[in-house]
Amino acid sequence: MAARGASAAASMTVMPVLLATSAGHFLNDVMQSVLLSIYPIIKEPLGLDFFQIGIITLAFQLTASVLQPLVGHYTDRRPLPFSLPVGMGATFCGMLTLAFAPSFGAVLVAAVLIGLGSSVFHPEASRVARLAAGGRYGFAQSLFQVGGNTGQAIAPLLVALLIYPYGQVQAAWFALLAVLGVALLVYVGRWYQDHLAQRRRSGPPAAEPSPVGSTRAAWALAILIALTFSKNVYAAAFSSYYAFFLIERFGVSVPVAQLHLFVFLGAVAAGTMLGGPLGDRIGRKPILWLSIAGVLPLSIALPFLPLWATAVTALVVGVMMASAFPAIVVYAQELLPGRVGLVAGLFFGFAFGTGGIGAAAVGWLADEQGIVWAFRLCAFLPAIGLLVAFLPDLDSKATERPSTGSVQPELGAPAPRGDGAA
């Protein structure tokens, strides 16, 4: 009874931090998603083609892809609590640059600045979410991620309402969200700093080996990266080109297409929130089976359906596909104990990078063969999810159940070591 009471108290204590971290993720991803959602508005005035749009997405996502694992690896050894508001400051600069960008090159600069902000934010914020989890790691990861997914979902609607009628310059108003984000993340940084001080007083946690051995862990990590590739290239195709697909195939207006994109991204947010708690309850691997491999028949059918059925199928695909990512991240954290920042940086960064490369490739295919043809080809990407069959089964309950109800064992990475062992 005492242990359960301590656990409940710890969970109640850290819930404000989880909510603040999720809110910071919401603000960060609203701003970065404005970049993706504004494409139909700036395409003609700036003389962009589909390939250039893909390059903009690539510049944004590749910046985060390259830097996030490096940031995560560094902060595993030397945590930087107040890097979170600094990253939000870079996003602020990117939003102002986007609002007044007169050319393709200026939009590229804005994309790089926004990507830089994301590369700093995600590894440390994901670590804070795990520290504040109280043993409910899947739930905490989902709550953290759903903030970002909700921001991504609402951005197209805000762009349709606030930017489309008045022009590109109105994007400057979104930079005010970064000011709010800085204040919020200063609070999170102070909590994080206090816990680092507690860790120093208690001594570093003991290093833990991978539960499946280093060789099997490396293979499992490669499979998780392949699954992330399939998910994020397909998701990037939707985020960057779903509005264009609907406009070309069904002749809908830009605001209507943005509304459909909002519905899809809202489904992604719902799926993200479901994936983590379900993974806590039934394990990560069943969630991966359902969320990636299970979506394949729907993705293949989607480009051939009428408009109403396309919208419904996109909603179901968004929920099922998005439930994978919390499970992937927590599974990888269990494979590599003590490497929370590296795992977060690798998977959030790889998600951005593969999404950017995929967006550029889909844009090139759309220019060459048409957007509908490109969507039909992308529909086969979820087939990579069949690799889930080769993942080892981890004992999630044993891995995640806190022994005393304290969050102390998850206060950070192991102390710096020269051998780099997990």
Q: Is the pLDDT of residue 6 over 60?
A: no
Residue 401 within a domain:
no
Q: Residue 198 has what pLDDT?
A: 78
Q: Residue 210 has what pLDDT?
A: 67
Given phi > 0 = left and psi -120 to 50 = alpha, else beta, which region is 405? Answer: left
Specify the CATH number for the domain of residue 38. 1.20.1250.20
Number of structural domains found in the chain: 1
Residue 51 within a domain:
yes
Closest by Cα among 30, 25, 41, 65 to 350: 65
8-state DSSP, 174:
G
Q: Residue 12 has what pLDDT?
A: 46
d(CA 153, CA 175): 18
Return all residues near 32 (Cβ < 8 A) that are at least 6 apart: 60, 91, 114, 115, 117, 118, 152
Number of neighbouring beta carbons within 10 Å of residue 15: 14
d(CA 272, CA 143): 8
Q: Residue 413 has what pLDDT?
A: 40
Q: Residue 401 has what pLDDT?
A: 40
Burial letters for 407-416: b for 16+ Cβ neighbours within 10 Å, e otherwise? beebbbbbee
Residue 413 within a domain:
no
**φ, ψ for residue 395 (rounded to 5)?**
-80, 85
Residue 422 within a domain:
no
Mean pLDDT, range 382-390, rounded to an integer: 84
Residue 411 within a domain:
no
Q: Is the pLDDT of residue 132 over 70?
A: yes
Q: Is the pLDDT of residue 392 over 60?
A: yes
Of 19-28, 62-71, 323-332, minimum mean pLDDT range: 62-71
Identify the domain containing residue 331 by its residue range.
2-200+209-396
Mean pLDDT, range 269-282, rounded to an integer: 81
Which pair of tokens denotes residue 198? 């507690």
Residue 410 within a domain:
no
Closest by Cα among 179, 183, 200 to 79: 200
Residue 11 within a domain:
yes
Mean pLDDT, range 135-155, rounded to an integer: 81
Mean pLDDT, range 101-114, rounded to an integer: 90
Residue 28 within a domain:
yes
- Average pLDDT over the chain reads 79
Closest by Cα among 254, 386, 278, 407 to 331: 278
Closest by Cα among 36, 341, 283 to 291: 283
Mean pLDDT, range 103-124, rounded to an integer: 89
Q: Is the pLDDT of residue 29 over 60?
A: yes
Q: Is the pLDDT of residue 26 over 90?
A: yes
Q: Is the pLDDT of residue 30 over 70?
A: yes
Of 89-103, 119-133, 238-252, 279-293, minimum mean pLDDT range: 279-293
8-state DSSP, 168:
G
Contact status, residue 157 vs residue 266, Cβ threshold 8 Å: no
d(CA 223, CA 234): 17
